[in-house]
């Protein structure tokens, strides 16, 4: 499968624990996005990478959230000291080239904080 891959698909964690999600974009896609989506809402932008550089972060991304994209390939999103409000679907997308390109989405990681 050459699409965007996200792992794990589901994660249940206790409040206060740290979690890390991984996203493997489509090979050679230089752009990578993270979004958060809650039930009945649209995806909310969290952060964006061009190659290994994190070019933009949403104000939604508190200091408990950190994202990396070492070597411009896969990316990780870590949430420290999880809170119940962090429960959501975390979506990763990648694209190649300039502005007039579509984004390809992974299936997402569903996080439940209990």
* Interacting residues toward other proteins by CB under 8 A: 4, 31, 33, 35, 41-45, 48, 50, 55-56, 58, 91, 93, 98-108
Question: Residue 45 CB, nearest distance to other proteins (Å)?
Answer: 6
Q: CA-CA distances (angstroms) from residue 105 to 28, 78, 91?
A: 15, 19, 7
Q: Measured from the CB atom, is 44 or 80 closer to other proteins? A: 44
Distance CA 85, CA 93 (A): 22
Alpha helix ranges (H) inside the chain = none
Q: Measured from the CB atom, is 34 or 86 closer to other proteins? A: 34
Q: Measured from the CB atom, is 19 or 33 closer to other proteins? A: 33
Distance CA 83, CA 14 (A): 8
């Amino acid at each position: 499968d050459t699409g965007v891959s996200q792992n794990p698909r589901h994660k249940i964690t206790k409040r206060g624990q740290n979690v890390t999600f991984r996203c493997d974009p489509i090979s050679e896609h230089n752009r990578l996005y993270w979004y958060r989506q809650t039930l009945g809402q649209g995806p909310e932008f969290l952060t964006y990478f061009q190659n290994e550089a994190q070019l933009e972060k949403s104000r939604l991304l508190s200091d408990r959230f950190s994202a990396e994209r070492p070597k411009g390939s896969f990316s990780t999103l870590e949430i420290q000291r999880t809170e119940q409000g962090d429960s959501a679907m975390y979506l990763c997308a990648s694209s190649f080239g300039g502005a007039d390109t579509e984004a390809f989405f992974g299936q997402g990681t569903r996080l439940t904080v209990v």
